[in-house]
Structure formats: structure tokens, C-alpha cells
């Protein structure tokens, strides 16, 4: 009797494994299955290599807002939304209901005490300061002229070349470069790094560091916290990359800040 139950149990277990295998092998259908215990994490990890396409599909199938269930014991539940009304509610009209908290700050630690990780009073002060900067006439003019120049001298010639030659281009890469060049010029006042140009050069270490930071932070969202902290402690994988990128960002920012200070001092003495 006991041996039959064991046999039955094995068959059931075997069927379960086969089922899992076929479920995972099947190309995704834009939904994430919620497994008992582990939640939707297995499905998400299976699609992680094409996370952007996958998220777009999921959000499209769930009316722009999607609730992700992580393993019950890890506290990884997340809400994804691209619904304008929700975004406005969360980051503007009802912002005070959404405290980011210490865990958020830890995940985004590389951003330091900036506005993205700040809460309450500090956030209010930073917001006031950035509002002053963004609404400053000089800043607007610089932003406008930089963007226009980048369009005329970077994006349009590149698109012309691509359409003439009928080649394929990674649009995401193109727009990331566009953002990088225009942001660097408007924020630091330095000259155009020309990462977006007709030659599409290898991106510089600053742009690469920013990409690495973004990637590492994304990984932190799908890994249990103890795991990435362990990786950081031992300094391997994404966390090693992040730490290197952090050093690069700090070094480059120091250069830009010192240069700006130097220029100011020179201007004062003239």
C-alpha cells in the first residue's frame, strides 16, 4: 500500500515537472502565472533577457497597471503602471501618500541623497531648488538650443544615413545617446560629448557607467535583498559592476563640478 502511494506520488510529481517544463517552454502569452509559494518570480526571470518587450506586453494585457506577486516570504510584491492617471496620482497629486522609505533608498543608494530617493522635508527643499533651476530662463534657452542642435546635427543626419543605406538601427540605443548628450550639456554646461553622431562611436565611460547603474538597479528589483547584498559584500556580478560605475560617476562628477567652480572663480577675478 505504502509503495503504491509512493508510486502515485512520484507520478504526480513527474507530471507536475513535465507541466512546468511545457509551461515555461511555451513562448509567453503576455501573462505571468502566479505559482503557489514562489509567486510570479519564475515567469519574470524566464523573460528577463527581454524585460522591456515583456513588460510592454504584460501592461498592454492588463490595462496599463499590473500587480506583480513575488515569493510570499521575500516581500517582493510590486506594482507596475504606465497609466497616466496613476502616475500623476503617485508622483504628484497624492505624493505624500507614497513614502519611499529606507528600503527604496537602499536599492537606489548609488543616487545618494538626491531628489529621487528623498522623502518629506528634504524632498520638498530639493523640489523647490530644482523648480527654480528648471524654470530659469537661461536654463530653458540652453535646453531648447541644445535639443535643437542635437536634432539637427545628430539625430536627423543619422536617420538620413540609415534610410539611404537601408540599414537597421537599435532605436533604444539611439535615444539613450540622445538623452545622454543633451542632459550632459544642459546639466554641466560642458561641450557635447557626441555619443550620438553619424559614426555612432563606442560610448564613453560616463555613459557606460550610467547604463551599468540602471541595469544593476533593475536586477536589484528581481533579486531578494539578502542575495544582492551578499553579492555586494563579496563584490561580484552586477554589484561589482555597480560599484565600479559608482566610482566612475563620482570621479566624472568631481571633474565637472571642479571645472565649474574653477570657471566661476576665474570669472570673479576677471
Ligand X SMILES: *[C@@H]1O[C@H](CO)[C@@H](O)[C@H](O)[C@H]1NC(C)=O
From residue 37, give the alpha-carbon distance in Å to each of 34, 40, 70, 71, 214: 9, 9, 9, 6, 29
Q: Is 215 in the site for ligand X (CB under 6 A)?
A: no
Q: Are 256 and 264 in contact (CB under 8 A)?
A: no
The conformation of residue 80, written as its DSSP 8-state character, comes to E
Q: Is 92 in the site for ligand X (CB under 6 A)?
A: no
Stretch that binds ligand X, among 17-25, 92-100, 134-142, 180-188 (CB under 6 A): 92-100
State which H helix or E strand residue 171 sits in.
helix 171-188
Q: Is 172 in the site for ligand X (CB under 6 A)?
A: no
Per-residue x/- mask for ligand X, residues 5 to 44, rule CB under 6 A?
----------------------------------------
Q: Considering only residues 38 through 67, tell me which ones interact with ligand X, judged by CB under 6 A.
A: 63
Q: Is 109 in the site for ligand X (CB under 6 A)?
A: yes
Count interface residues toward ligand X (CB under 6 A): 11
What is the distance between the alpha carbons of residues 112 and 118, in angstroms, rounded to a whole number? 9
What is the distance between the alpha carbons of residues 255 and 174, in angstroms, rounded to a whole number? 26
Cβ distance to ligand X smaller for residue 195 or 246:
246
Cβ distance to ligand X smaller for residue 9 or 85:
85
Contacts of 256 (CB under 8 A, 6+ apart): 188, 190
Binding residues for ligand X (CB under 6 A) = 63, 83, 85, 93-94, 97, 109-110, 243, 246, 250
Amino acid at each position: 500500500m505504502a509503495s503504491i502511494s509512493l508510486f502515485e506520488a512520484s507520478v504526480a510529481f513527474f507530471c507536475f515537472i513535465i507541466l512546468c517544463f511545457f509551461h515555461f517552454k511555451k513562448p509567453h502569452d503576455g501573462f505571468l502565472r502566479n505559482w503557489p509559494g514562489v509567486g510570479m518570480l519564475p515567469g519574470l526571470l524566464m523573460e528577463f533577457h527581454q524585460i522591456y518587450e515583456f513588460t510592454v506586453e504584460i501592461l498592454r494585457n492588463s490595462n496599463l497597471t499590473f500587480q506583480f506577486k513575488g515569493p510570499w516570504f521575500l516581500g517582493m510584491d510590486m506594482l507596475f503602471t504606465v497609466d497616466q492617471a496613476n502616475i500623476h496620482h503617485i508622483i504628484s497629486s497624492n505624493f505624500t501618500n507614497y513614502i519611499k522609505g529606507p528600503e527604496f533608498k537602499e536599492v537606489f543608494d548609488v543616487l545618494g541623497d538626491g531628489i529621487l530617493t528623498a522623502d518629506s522635508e528634504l524632498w520638498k527643499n530639493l523640489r523647490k531648488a530644482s523648480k527654480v533651476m528648471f524654470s530659469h530662463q537661461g536654463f530653458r534657452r540652453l535646453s531648447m538650443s541644445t535639443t535643437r542642435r542635437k536634432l539637427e546635427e545628430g539625430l536627423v543626419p543619422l536617420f538620413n544615413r540609415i534610410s539611404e543605406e537601408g540599414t537597421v538601427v537599435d532605436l533604444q540605443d539611439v535615444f539613450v545617446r540622445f538623452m545622454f548628450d543633451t542632459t550632459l550639456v544642459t546639466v554641466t554646461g560642458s561641450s557635447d560629448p557626441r555619443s550620438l553622431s553619424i559614426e555612432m562611436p563606442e560610448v564613453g565611460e560616463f555613459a557606460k557607467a550610467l547604463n551599468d547603474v540602471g541595469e544593476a538597479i533593475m536586477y536589484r528589483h528581481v533579486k531578494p535583498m539578502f542575495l544582492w547584498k551578499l553579492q555586494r559584500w563579496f563584490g561580484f556580478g552586477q554589484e561589482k559592476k555597480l560599484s565600479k560605475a559608482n566610482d566612475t560617476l563620482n570621479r566624472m562628477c568631481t571633474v565637472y563640478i571642479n571645472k565649474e567652480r574653477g570657471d566661476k572663480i576665474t570669472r570673479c577675478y576677471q
